[in-house]
Chain A
Amino acid sequence: MPIISPLITNNYLYELRCWEYAPDCHFKASGRVLKTIKRGGENEAANCDKKPASHVLISVPGMGDIAFINLGETVLPGYDFLPGQYGVLIRYQRREVYARYDIVGAAGGEPPPEVWSPQCIVTRLGTLHIEDLFYNNPLPVEEGPKPADALNVQLSNLTIL
C-alpha cells in the first residue's frame, strides 16, 4: 500500500501537529507525533520519512483535525466509478474528499517505495486548500507525476440497522 505524505504549507496562526492515526490508540493520548509544522513552513512532508504512518492526522488548533485516511485498494461503496487503484479519504470539519490514484511504472520486480504527496495549504483562516492532488514517486521525470481523481463525498457517519 502506498504511503501518504501530504506536503503542507502552513500559513495558519499556529503550528500544526501531525500524528500517526492508528486504529489501536487515541492519537492525542498515546499516538506518535510524526512532525510539527511551524508557521510559515512550506511544502513540509506531514509523514515521517524513517517510520511512516499508514494514516496521517493533522491537528489544526482552533479548527479541528485533518485526517488523511489511507484506503489502499478499498473502494468506497457507491463511488466505484472513480478510476485509480488506490484510494484516500480526506476529512476535515465534516467535509470529505475522496481521491483515487494509480501507481506509475513499477515495471518488473519490487515496486519502488511509493509516496503519494498531495500539495496542501492550511490558509490563514484555517481552510485546507488542496493545491495539487498528484501522485508523486521517485520514478523518472518523463513518467510522472500522474494526476489523481477526486470528488466531494458525503458519507453516512451514523447508521441504524
Chain B
Amino acid sequence: MIKLEITNRYAFSLAYIPYAGGLYPEGTEAMVMIATGESKTICTQTSSEPAFIDVPAMGALFIDPLQHEKIWRYQNDEKMLKLEQGEYVDYRCRTLVRYAGQVYYFLYDDDPLTIGLSLDAVGSVTINHSSADKVVPVKVSAISARYPFD
C-alpha cells in the first residue's frame, strides 16, 4: 500500500484515478476528487499499484512503485544504496514520484510508504514529509534510441 496525504491549494480540483489493472485511466465512478482547499488521504490497494492524480493544466502527478526493480542507470550508484556493516546494500523497495518533468526516487525498507504533499495556488507540488529512508532526484529519459542521434 502507498499512502498519499494530499493538500490541494491549487485553483482546480484534482482527480485521483484508481489503477484498474492497467486499463486506460478515464473518469469513472471510482475516481476520487480533491477540491480546492481540501486535504485527503488516499491509499492504493497494493504496494505495486501506481497512483495517478490528474492536475489540470499541469499533467499528472504520478506515483510509480518500482518495488524491487531498479533504474538501470542508477543501480550501482552509491547514493541509491545504504551502508551496512561497511558494505553498500540495496534498499528493499523503490518508488518514483513524477511531476512536470521532475522525478524523485524514494528508497525505503518498510512498507507502507507514506508521502505527504501539497499543491500551491499555481500547481507547484511540495513534498512535505515521507516515510522513505532516502529521497534522491533522478533523471529518466523521455526519448531514447537504439542508435545515437546526432
Residues of A in contact with B (beta carbons under 8 Å apart): 13-17, 36, 38-39, 59, 61-64, 90, 92-95, 97, 124-133, 150-152
Residue from A16, A62, A131, A152 having most chain B Cβ neighbours under 10 A: A62
Q: Is the contact region of chain B dominated by helix, strand, or loop, or is it mixed?
A: loop
CB pair B140 A125 closer than 8 Å: yes
CB pair A127 B140 closer than 8 Å: yes
CB pair A130 B143 closer than 8 Å: yes
Q: A14-B23, A14-B24, A125-B140 are in contact. Are A130 and B64 (CB under 8 A)?
A: no
CB pair A94 B142 closer than 8 Å: yes
Q: A17-B24, A61-B25, A151-B149 are in contact. Are A97 and B143 (CB under 8 A)?
A: yes
CB pair B142 A62 closer than 8 Å: no
Does B101 make an interface contact (CB < 8 A)?
yes
Partner of B24, one of A61, A93, A97: A61
CB pair B146 A129 closer than 8 Å: yes
Residues of B in contact with A (beta carbons under 8 Å apart): 19, 22-25, 50, 52, 59-60, 62, 64, 69, 71, 96, 98, 101, 140-146, 149-150
CB pair B144 A127 closer than 8 Å: yes
Instruction: Name B51's closest neighbour in chain A (CB-CB).
Output: A62
Instruction: Name A16's closest neighbour in chain B (CB-CB).
Output: B24
Q: How far is the CA of A95 from the CA of B140 in the complex (A)?
A: 12
Q: How far is the CA of A15 from the CA of B52 in the complex (A)?
A: 13
CB pair A130 B144 closer than 8 Å: yes
CB pair A129 B62 closer than 8 Å: no
How many A-B residue pairs lie within 8 Å, measured between CB atoms? 78
Instruction: Name A124's closest neighbour in chain B (CB-CB).
Output: B69
Chain B nearest Cβ from A83, distance in angstroms: 13
Question: Given contacts A97-B143, A97-B149, A125-B71, could you give 19 more A-B pairs where the C-beta distance is less than 8 Å?
Answer: A13-B50, A13-B64, A14-B23, A39-B22, A61-B24, A61-B60, A62-B98, A92-B143, A93-B143, A95-B142, A125-B140, A126-B98, A127-B142, A128-B142, A128-B144, A129-B143, A129-B146, A130-B146, A152-B149
Q: How far is the CA of A151 from the CA of B101 in the complex (A)?
A: 22
Instruction: Name B96's closest neighbour in chain A (CB-CB).
Output: A125
List the 5 closest A-B pairs by CB distance, nearest first: A62-B62, A93-B142, A151-B150, A130-B145, A15-B24
Chain A residues within 8 Å of B142, by CB = 92-95, 127-128
Q: How far is the CA of A131 from the CA of B23 in the complex (A)?
A: 25
Chain B residues within 8 Å of A14, by CB = 22-25
Chain B nearest Cβ from A7, distance in angstroms: 14
CB pair B24 A63 closer than 8 Å: no
Q: How far is the CA of A131 from the CA of B52 in the complex (A)?
A: 28
Residue from B24, B50, B101 having most chain A Cβ neighbours under 10 A: B24
Instruction: Name B72's closest neighbour in chain A (CB-CB).
Output: A125
CB pair B101 A93 closer than 8 Å: yes
Q: How far is the CA of A30 from the CA of B145 in the complex (A)?
A: 32
CB pair A62 B60 closer than 8 Å: yes
